[in-house]
Amino acid sequence: SGRAVVIGASHAGAQLSAQLRSSGWDGDIVLIGDEPYLPYHRPPMSKTYLADTVGIDDLLIRGTEFYDKQNIRVRRARVERIDRAEQRVVLSDGESLSYDRLALCTGARPVRLGIPGAELRGVYYLRTAEDVEAIRADVPGSRRAVIVGGGYIGLETAASLRKLGLDVTVVEAADRVLQRVTAPEVSDFFRRIHEAEGVHIRTDAAVVGFEGDDGTGRVAAVRLADGEMVPADFVIVGIGVRPNVELAHEAGLAVDDGIVVDAQGRTSDPRITAAGDCVTYHDVRYGKTRLESVPSAGEQAKVAAATMCGKETTISALPWFWSDQYDLKLQIAGLNTGYDTVVLRGDPTTDREFACFYLRAGELIAADCVNRPQEFMFSKRVLAQSLPVDRDALADLDVPIASQLA
């Protein structure tokens, strides 16, 4: 079967390499990544790796022995270029490697703020273990942290920094946190929880610049559009990600937001597959979709590996995601794009557990479940099998959720 080269050594790349072996690829497998660690779990970066004393060794997806035993060569380098005509990839250290099959698992990177002061020391982004290590080194000498962006990563980071005893302000340009991803009821819930934990939340607050501490080159405050200055010993910016599509684009592969793949994970070049955060595909229920989720990256990687081994499977997995903040476990099934109705089960204005169901033309398309694992399982099942739901029963805590599946 020759040589399989996988670019990007994180959730998608690690899963894809492992799956290639178990699907019967008996030639070389080379997994190339530009981070200094073996593939590690990224979700803990804003959670335990930031807030607790876990080491990176505790977060590796698989240990060294696994790659040795499976004869998967892990190569630390950056891929600079793909030469499709020659079927080679060119690395930053000058080496070039030929491939018979290639997989792109290049993921995504944080959107950068291009505003005055963005280059000051103490202005961070949070994606990699190295990002977190730099932030952690700043914590002991700091009292006040400002987080720009009230999305999942911003809110998780706020919870972690509170745990470390910092005074935390979240600054969000929209009129509510989680505005892009949840219903207003869910946004209000998370605002209430964070404020009860002592986090300051500023909505309708656009950041226009960072002010330095005279002469030190370090950030000292965040400037808002209305002129107000919010003091900060350091800042973490979490305003979304962009897929890493440049390699694919320069190689002439189809790109539309992410790298375009078919239901078998193939790009516009049949020798090249792609999986994970860098990928756009057509979902039967949700249309054009690019997901940023560990379970989806794993699922897409499995499909791509099977395709590389000449086996046909298709991407059919249901999108799902989770977020941990304080003692709360939010689990999300499906995508709520285009919902017309929200049904609440439980009261998010008073409780610490509830489910928010999203309906479109009477059909369930997504659910946000806070400390409600049964409602999450139920929603996954309904979505996977396109089952009908009864609005009144969904809202009625006296009707057991599972009884609707009967």
The 8-class DSSP code of residue 277 comes to T
Question: Least CB distance from residue 45 to ligand FAD, whole Å?
Answer: 4
Which of 17, 29, 42, 258 binds ligand FAD (CB under 6 A)? It is 42
Pick the binder of ligand FAD from 6, 9, 335, 366 (CB under 6 A): 9
Beta carbons within 10 angstroms of residue 250's beta carbon: 12
Say whether residue 122 binds ligand FAD (CB under 6 A).
no
Helices (H) and strands (E) in the chain, counts: 10, 27
Q: Is 199 in the site for ligand FAD (CB under 6 A)?
A: no
Closest separation in Å from C-beta 169 to ligand FAD: 19
Indicate whether 13 belongs to the interface with ligand FAD (CB under 6 A).
Answer: yes
Query: Per CB under 6 A, does 322 bind ligand FAD?
Result: yes
Among 33, 122, 150, 348, binds ligand FAD (CB under 6 A): 33
CA distance 296 to 11: 10
Our finding on whether 123 is near ligand FAD (CB under 6 A) is no
Least Å distance, CB 279 to ligand FAD, is 8
Query: What's the CA gap between 313 and 289, in Å, rounded?
Result: 19
Task: From 203, 189, 200, 133, select the one nearest 166 (Cα to Cα).
Answer: 200
Between 93 and 351, CB nearer to ligand FAD: 93
Among 247, 355, 365, 382, binds ligand FAD (CB under 6 A): 247
Task: Provide the H-helix boundaries in 139-264.
Answer: 152-163, 184-196, 246-250
Query: Is residue 260 at the binding interface for ligand FAD, with CB under 6 A as the rule?
Result: no
Is there a contact between 232 and 222 (Cβ–Cβ < 8 Å)? yes
Contact 301, 309 (CB under 8 A): no
**Alpha helix segments (H runs only) across 90-183:** 129-138, 152-163
- Residue closer to ligand FAD (CB basis): 273 or 323: 323
Q: In this chain, which of 5, 6, 29, 32 binds ligand FAD, going by CB under 6 A?
A: 32
Number of CB atoms found within 10 A of residue 216's CB: 11
C-alpha 402/C-alpha 169 separation (Å) is 40
Binding site for ligand FAD (CB under 6 A): 7-13, 32-35, 42-43, 45-46, 78-79, 105-108, 126-127, 153, 244, 247, 276-277, 292-295, 297, 321-323
